[in-house]
Structures are given as structure tokens and as C-alpha cells.
Amino acid sequence: MVSKLDLYRIFSVVGRNESFSGAAKELFMTQPAISQSIMQLERELDTRLFNRTPKGVTLTNEGSLLLEYVNSAINLIGIGEEKIAEFKNLTTGELRIGVGDTISKYFLLPQLEAFRARYPNIKLKIENGTTDELIAFLKSGEVDIVVCNLPVADPTLNVMPTMDIHDTFVYGDKYRKLLARPVGFQELAKLPLIFLEPSSNSRKYVEEHFLAKGVRISPEFELGSHDLVVEFARMNMGIACVTREFTKDYLESGALHEVQLTEQIPHRSIGVCSLKSVPLSPASTRFWELLVGE
């Protein structure tokens, strides 16, 4: 195998020009440089590639055979480089994000629509799961970016908060009189409560906060999705623990009402995370910028 592939780039140009000095001009080199390069290639292949004539050079049979292969090879590399450029343009590529269910519907969906409108050729791949599962996806390389509830305390991740969310309790008309005045945690815990499943990040957060205040909750209902929780509240099945931002429509329309707490639950944030150790792909970078408002 010839050691220096660069000789083939020169060979290709000389073959096209059928002239050493012509190739030299095209390559911004001098004629002796070309002459030596071709001689080196011929020496390494132990084959004469060009017949020298007074008015330039002509390919030998061997040379013109080889030229076919070399030109194809160089073209291939050129095509490869073009494909790479497409990645940079975001005219091709893939965006793989991990996101919690609730977030995906209320927060991420509009962003994804915007991204897709702007870069229609980027393939989208969305993984769902709990925060812990998503971080695992990130570390195993299955996704490039995770959007989840903070806090995420992991020194190997870049974490950027993008939106504050507030855990709150809501109820339907049936509980209106009962909850006309502010209530404390203790009081609230005695009412019929509607929560997400214990494994969910939101549930854990609120539950732990109550516990820190010495209040243990035992919900009447434990449901699989935020939507269900909201619907149960509307059907007056109890007092529901929801994210205020994701219940905005119901609250504004008066279909649901917010419990006045005597003590605030500290807000959480939605954050976007990526691995510190792995640079983001072009598509991921762009999406990250979109999320954090650049």
C-alpha cells in the first residue's frame, strides 16, 4: 500500500491535465514539485504512470487504469465531506431528547414544533421516563439532551433551568365553600387527595416537603398522568396536587380553583441537561439554544 495518499491527489490532477506544469498551476505548486511527486508515486508502485513527451505527458495503460480508481476515491471523499457539511447546516441529522411526560405535553411540545418548522430535515426521537431514567439514557448515549424537573445534582452534567413551575392544589366547585379560606398543610392532608403515582418526581417532591413539615399524606387517588389528576379534580373527586403552569387553562376558565395555602411550597424548575463530557451535536446545540432562550 502506498504510504502517502496525498500523492494520489496530485496524480489525479496531473492525469486530468496531462501536464506536469499545468497541474502545478492548478495546485499552486511548482513544476519540479509535481515531477518529484509523480516520480515518487511511480517508484512506490514500481510502475510508470505517465509517458513523458515534449509537449506534456500522457497516461500509460497502467496510469489511466489507476486514475479511474483514484478519481472515484477522491470523489467519494468529496461526497463524504458534503454530507458532513449538511450536518453543520442542520439540513440533516437527528435530535434525540429525553423528557418527562408532563413536561413534554405542556412545555416541550411548542418548542418542538418551532424547531421542526425551522429545521424540517432533522429527525426527532423522544424518550419518556422519570428523571432518573432520563439521566440514565443521557449517560448511556441514547439521548443527547434531557428536559426534566430540577433539581438534578450530578457534577457530570450541564444543567440549565429554563422555567419555574409551582406545585399547587386545586379543586372543583363542590369544595368551594370548604376551601374559601386559606388552609395549612395539616388541614389539607385530612381532605381526600388526588396525587400522581409515588414514583413520579413531582409527587416525591411535594410528599417530602410535607414530611419535612411533619405531615404525612395518604392520597385517596394515585393516578398515572397529570391529565387524569386534573380531570379527577374537576369531577370533584377530591383535592388535586398539580403543577400550576400546566393547569392554567382550567384555573383561568374557573373550572378549577386553587387552594390558598397558609405556607408556600417552594417552586421547582424545569431544566435542560446534557453530559459535560460529550460535546453536543449541531442539532442538539441549536435546540439547547432554543430552550434556554439563548
Partner DNA sequence: GATGGGTATAAGGGATGGTTATATGGTAAG
Partner DNA sequence: CTTACCATATAACCATCCCTTATACCCATC
What residues line the site for DNA (CB under 7 A)?
4, 6, 19-22, 24, 28-33, 35-40, 52, 54-57, 156, 277
Q: From the list DNA, a copy of itself, none, pick the one residue 28 interacts with, judged by a Cβ distance below 5 to 8 Å according to partner type.
A: DNA
Nearer to a copy of itself, 141 or 184 (CB): 141
Nearer to DNA, 154 or 222 (CB): 154
Q: Is 88 in the site for a copy of itself (CB under 8 A)?
A: yes
CB of 6 to DNA, least distance (A): 7
Enter the C-alpha cell of residue 51. 509517458
CB 290 within 8 A of CB 94: no
Q: Of residues 211-270, which lie at the interface with a copy of itself (CB under 8 A)?
A: none
The residue within the footprint of a copy of itself, chosen from 202, 257, 281, 288 (CB under 8 A), is 281
List phi, psi (to 5°) of 277. -80, -20
Q: From the list a copy of itself, DNA, none, pick the one residue 84 interacts with, judged by a Cβ distance below 5 to 8 Å according to partner type.
A: a copy of itself
Residue whose C-alpha is closest to residue 14's, from 28, 40, 35:
35
Residue whose C-alpha is closest to residue 162's, from 145, 179, 180:
145
Residue whose C-alpha is closest to residue 96's, from 37, 36, 138, 50:
138
Residue 127 host element (H or E) = strand 123-128
CB of 67 to DNA, least distance (A): 15
Instruction: Report d(CA 168, CA 177) in Å as an integer.
Output: 18
CB of 65 to DNA, least distance (A): 20
Q: Is 156 in the site for a copy of itself (CB under 8 A)?
A: no
Q: From the list a copy of itself, DNA, none, pick the one residue 281 interacts with, judged by a Cβ distance below 5 to 8 Å according to partner type.
A: a copy of itself
Q: Of residues 36-75, which lie at the interface with a copy of itself (CB under 8 A)?
A: 45-48, 51-53, 58, 60-62, 65-66, 68-70, 72-74
Instruction: Report d(CA 82, CA 113) in Å as an integer.
Output: 28
- Nearest-Å Rg of the Cα atoms of the chain is 33
Question: 93: alpha, beta or left, given left = phi > 0 and alpha = psi -120 to 50?
Answer: left
Residue whose C-alpha is closest to residue 146's, from 275, 246, 289, 7:
275
Binding site for a copy of itself (CB under 8 A): 1-2, 4-6, 8-9, 45-48, 51-53, 58, 60-62, 65-66, 68-70, 72-74, 76-81, 83-84, 87-88, 93-94, 141, 277-279, 281
